[in-house]
Homo-oligomer: A and B are copies of this chain.
Amino acid sequence: MSKPITPLQRTGARGSNRDLVRQHNLSVLLQMIHLNGTVSRSSLTSATGLNRSTISDLVSELVQLGFVTESETDSPTGVGRPSLMVSASNRVVAFSVHPEVDATTIGVVTLAGNVLHTKRVPMPRHPSAADSVQTAAKAIEELREELDKDQLIAGVGVAIPGQVRVEDNVVRLAPQMGWIEEPFGSMLSQATGLPVFVDNDASIGCMAEANFGAAKDFTEVVFLYAGSGGIGGGAIVNGTQLRGASGYGGELGHVRIGEGSTKDYSGLSGTLESLVRRDDLLHAFKMFAATDEELDLEIAGNKSAKTQKLIEQQIDALGTGISSYVNIFNPEVIVLAGFLTSLLNYDAERLVRNIKTGALNASAERVVVRAGELGPNLLMIGAAELPFHRVLESPAETKLVSAHKKR
C-alpha cells in the first residue's frame, strides 16, 4: 500500500485494453443473438456499428466456441446477396430449479431459449432445503444423461420463493417453506458438481419477461408476480435488473399501502401482499388447492355479488400499490404475472383508473399494464438466464462443463 488513497470511488468502469475490446464485442454479439433468437449478420453489423469483416471474424469465433450456428436464409428478402443467419446453439444448456412448498420443478433450457424438458417432483409438505437439494440433484443427474454427448452445461439457476443473498447464493428467508439461512447454492453445487446461481423467483421472472416476454422492448419495467407464496416483484431500471446491496431489492409485495391489520407472509401489515391474497379468493370460491388456470376460470366467470366485491377490493388495492410504483419508477410498462393476470382481465379499466388516481399525472401518462407472456415456462427460462449470464459476459473465457462426466 503505497498511498492511503480511497480505492477510487465508484467509477466501476475499468479501462479497456485490447483483449477487453475483443471480449466485449464477443459478448455484445452473443447477447444480441441470445435475446433475438436468430439474426442476420447484416443486422448485427448495423446494430453494433462494427465493420462487416469484423463481424465475420467475431461470429466465426463464436461458431468455433460452439455458442452459435450459421445458416443460409430460407427466404431472402430484398435485393442484394442474402445475409447469413446466426442462431444461438442448442448445444449449450442450463438447468433450472424451482423449489416450492409442495413440489420441486427442474428443467433444461438451451442457450437458444428452448425448454427441452421439465420435471415436476411432488414433495412432502414443508420440505427441508436438504430435501429439495437432493431432489433437484437427482433430477439433474437424470436429465443430464439424456443430453447429447457433445452438449455443454453452463450451470444451474435456482428460483427461490423468498429472499436470497445473491453474493453467496444463500437463502435468507423462505417463509412459506420455513427455510432460514440455508446455503442452497453451495449445497446444490456440491451435489451436482456444477456452478449454481440462486435468486428470488420474482426477480427471475422479471428478468425473463424483460428478456423474452411482455417487457421485451423496454428498459424501465415494473413486474409483479403473485403465486401461492405471496406477492413478489422486480424492476428493470435503465435496462438492468434492480438487485440492491445484497440482492433483496424489488420486494414490491412488502410495500405498505394502507392500514390493514392482517399481516403478510413476512409479518408486515398493510402491505400489498396482505391485501391481495390468493388464499382469500380460493376461500371465497370454496376452493382448496387450485392452479392459476382454474382460479382464472372462477374469477372470469364470477357471478356472485360477494365474490365480486372481494375481487374489486383486490383490484383496488393492487391499483393503489402500482400507483406508488409508477411514482417511484416511472416505468414504461407494468407486467403482471400469476393470478394477478386474472384480476387484470376481470376489469382492466378499473385497475387502470385506480392507478391513475394514485399516481402523478406525468408519471402515469404513458404507462402500459400488461399480462406476462411466458406462462408456465417463466421461471424455467428465467432461472437459466443466471448461468447463461456469466457465459454471455465473457464467451471466450467461461469454461463450460461437458454433458457427460468423464470417468
Q: B14 touching A366 by the CB < 8 A rule? A: no
CB contact between A256 and one of B11, B48, B249, B323 (< 8 Å): that residue: B323
Within 8 A of B (CB), among A181-216: 210, 216
CB contact between A246 and one of B235, B358, B362 (< 8 Å): that residue: B362
Q: B47 touching A256 by the CB < 8 A rule? A: no
Residue from A54, A252, A256, A366 having most chain B Cβ neighbours under 10 A: A256
Q: Which of A20-28, A113-121, A293-301 contacts B (4 or more CB under 8 A)?
A: A20-28
- Select from chain B the residue with minimum beta-carbon distance to A257: B256
Expressed in whole angstroms, the Cα–Cα distance for A2 and B219 within the complex equals 26
- Select from chain B the residue with minimum beta-carbon distance to A7: B47
- Select from chain B the residue with minimum beta-carbon distance to A30: B11
CB contact between A358 and one of B216, B268, B331 (< 8 Å): that residue: B268
Q: How many copies does the complex hold?
A: 2
Is A242 engaged at the interface, CB distance under 8 Å to the other chain?
yes
Expressed in whole angstroms, the Cα–Cα distance for A172 and B366 within the complex equals 14
Number of interface residues, chain A, beta carbon within 8 A = 94
Within 8 A of B (CB), among A31-83: 31-32, 35-36, 39-40, 42-44, 47-51, 54, 77-78, 80, 83
A binding-site residues for B, Cβ under 8 Å: 1-18, 21, 24-25, 27-29, 31-32, 35-36, 39-40, 42-44, 47-51, 54, 77-78, 80, 83, 163, 165, 172-173, 210, 216-220, 235, 237-240, 242-252, 254-259, 266, 268, 320, 323-324, 327-332, 358-363, 366-367
Q: List 7 A-B contacts (CB under 8 A).
A: A1-B78, A2-B83, A3-B78, A10-B210, A173-B360, A255-B328, A328-B328
